[in-house]
């Protein structure tokens, strides 16, 4: 199928061509005609499936085709769970809409409210926002949502997980009753079904890439290793395999900072991104990673939600997540839009039960590969995994900073040739 058969306006087709897309992804092929028909939509799609363009392209088309004369009013509202995702969706809106003459703004907390207020005053067609800051603006009378024609809830399951349900309901109460609503969610939980019943009107339903199909696109490997040797093993893997852009997940914010420092000491430019960092610091870290100035981005689950990095080759689970679904979200950061990706999990004896849960959820056995010099010590007994926020320093290991060094660790750092990134 080609984009031409979707009957998008010429300036949108041009932007798509400029992006180098040749054909729509399955979610785009299915969602775009539904959105253009004006129907409500309930779509199950994860990040990496091309879902952003699936709602943005037809939304832009409708705004472009029915430009009212006179004052510019907010006619489309996209809500996202995180600031990063709002910024990314807004970047897509600008990219795909670059030849349309529409105006848009991104609204989220953690940054000054003033430029947002100024942009709203000058008039915009599209608002991409996180719920909390949008409500602030609404309560202060900075915006009028009574002309919104299209509402998009992106990663709705995440928004519910993060406790935004009341904010969402308040926002929806200020929208016209007669509107088009598009709800995108990675999962169809009972909560999502309940929400969709109250805010969608006879929706079309689309499901692509169920949780475990993402897993199928990604080559997954488990490296059994002692906790004390995880950081050494990670440096070793990055160095020997010459990975240039690796996203690493840790369970805690403290763990992310500590690991990032440790990798930097090993000569691997690294930075971290988590909820304790300011928005500006998170954006800076993400940009440095995207630009290739740092090789390793260490992130917690919340901070990494919705991050879209083109052609991310490797994802590493330094710690396995407590919630098995997060594993699927994590590895979904690689192997994007049809590209093959790799996910590695460094699993210590304490985490065996977490691995078991993941294998059960994805209904698969993940290949276990022992790395020479990093075989787990069979005399180490499992200890309970400390809950997030707790002190993860362990008596038996002294934390991952103090582990033994593998004897055969190669030189790292500037000695490796940089792989061309196409």
Cβ neighbors of 100 (< 8 A, separation 6 or more) are 9, 11, 12, 60, 63, 64
- What is d(CA 328, CA 418) in angstroms, rounded to the nearest whole number? 29
- What is d(CA 56, CA 367) in angstroms, rounded to the nearest whole number? 38
Nearer CB in complex with ligand AMP: 47/260: 47
Nearer CB in complex with ligand AMP: 214/397: 214
Nearer CB in complex with ligand AMP: 57/135: 57
Is 335 buried (19+), middle (13-18) or exposed (0-12) by CB count in 10 A? buried
- In the complex, least distance from residue 150 CB atom to ligand AMP, rounded to whole angstroms: 17
Look at the chain and count its residues: 422
> 150 by DSSP, 3-state: which?
strand
Q: Which of 29, 45, 332, 338 is nearest to 210 (CA)?
A: 45
Beta strands, E only, 116-177: 126-129, 150-153
- In the complex, least distance from residue 225 CB atom to ligand AMP, rounded to whole angstroms: 31
- In the complex, least distance from residue 26 CB atom to ligand AMP, rounded to whole angstroms: 10
Nearer CB in complex with ligand AMP: 56/150: 56
Nearer CB in complex with ligand AMP: 237/286: 286
Both tokens of 69, joined, read: 């004369």
Cβ neighbors of 96 (< 8 A, separation 6 or more) are 12, 15, 16, 19, 53, 56, 57, 60
- What is d(CA 145, CA 320) in angstroms, rounded to the nearest whole number? 42
Q: Which of 75, 83, 219 is nearest to 149 (CA)?
A: 75
Residue pair 214/234 in contact (Cβ under 8 Å)? The answer is no
Cα–Cα distances (Å) from 393 to 190, 223, 386, in that order, read: 38, 22, 9
- In the complex, least distance from residue 95 CB atom to ligand AMP, rounded to whole angstroms: 8
- In the complex, least distance from residue 106 CB atom to ligand AMP, rounded to whole angstroms: 16
- In the complex, least distance from residue 358 CB atom to ligand AMP, rounded to whole angstroms: 22
Nearer CB in complex with ligand AMP: 25/345: 25
Q: 3-state DSSP helix/strand/coil percent for the chain, to nearest 5?
A: 40, 15, 45
For binding to ligand AMP (CB under 6 A), which residues are involved?
21, 24-25, 28, 47-53, 308, 310, 336-337
- In the complex, least distance from residue 311 CB atom to ligand AMP, rounded to whole angstroms: 8
For 241, what's the count of Cα atoms within 13 Å in the CB-facing half-sphere? 16
- In the complex, least distance from residue 47 CB atom to ligand AMP, rounded to whole angstroms: 4
Both tokens of 71, joined, read: 């004052």
Q: Nearest to ligand AMP by Cβ — which residue?
A: 52
Nearer CB in complex with ligand AMP: 21/188: 21
- In the complex, least distance from residue 410 CB atom to ligand AMP, rounded to whole angstroms: 33
Nearer CB in complex with ligand AMP: 25/317: 25
Nearer CB in complex with ligand AMP: 184/236: 184
């Amino acid at each position: 199928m080609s984009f031409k058969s979707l009957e998008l306006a010429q300036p949108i087709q041009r932007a798509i061509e400029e992006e180098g897309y040749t054909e729509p992804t399955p979610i785009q092929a299915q969602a775009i005609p539904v959105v253009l028909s004006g129907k409500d939509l309930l779509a199950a799609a994860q990040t990496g499936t091309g879902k952003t363009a699936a709602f943005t392209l037809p939304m832009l088309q409708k705004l472009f085709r029915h430009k009212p004369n006179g004052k510019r009013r907010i006619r489309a509202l996209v809500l996202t769970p995180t600031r990063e995702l709002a910024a990314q969706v807004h970047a897509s809106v600008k990219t795909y809409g670059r030849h349309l003459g529409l105006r848009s703004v991104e609204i989220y907390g953690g940054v000054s409210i003033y430029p947002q207020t100024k942009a709203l005053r000058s008039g915009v067609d599209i608002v991409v926002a996180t719920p909390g800051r949008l409500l602030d603006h609404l309560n202060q009378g900075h915006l009028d949502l009574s002309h919104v024609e299209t509402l998009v809830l992106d990663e709705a399951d995440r928004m519910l997980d993060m406790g935004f349900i009341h904010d969402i309901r308040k926002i929806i109460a200020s929208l016209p009753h007669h509107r088009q609503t598009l709800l995108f969610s990675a999962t169809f939980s009972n909560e999502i079904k309940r929400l969709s019943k109250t805010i969608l009107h006879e929706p079309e339903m689309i499901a692509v890439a169920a949780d475990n199909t993402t897993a199928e696109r990604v080559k997954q490997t488990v490296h059994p290793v002692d906790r004390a040797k995880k950081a050494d093993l990670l440096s070793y893997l990055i160095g020997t395999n010459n990975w240039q852009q690796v996203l690493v997940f840790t369970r805690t914010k403290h763990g992310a900072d500590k690991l990032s420092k440790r990798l930097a000491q090993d000569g691997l430019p690294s930075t971290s991104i988590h909820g304790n960092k300011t928005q500006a610091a998170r954006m800076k870290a993400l940009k440095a990673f995207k630009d290739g100035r740092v090789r390793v981005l260490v992130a917690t689950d919340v901070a990494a939600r919705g991050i879209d990095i083109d052609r991310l080759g490797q994802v590493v689970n330094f710690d396995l997540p407590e919630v098995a679904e997060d594993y699927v979200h994590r590895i979904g950061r690689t192997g994007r839009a049809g590209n093959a990706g790799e996910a590695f999990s460094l699993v210590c004896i304490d985490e065996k039960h977490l691995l078991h849960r993941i294998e059960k959820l994805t209904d698969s056995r993940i290949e276990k590969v022992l790395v020479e010099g990093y075989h787990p010590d069979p005399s180490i007994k499992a200890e309970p995994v400390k809950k997030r926020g707790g002190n993860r320093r362990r008596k038996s290991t002294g934390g991952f900073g103090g582990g033994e060094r593998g004897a055969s660790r190669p030189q790292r750092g500037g000695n490796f040739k940089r792989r061309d990134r196409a």
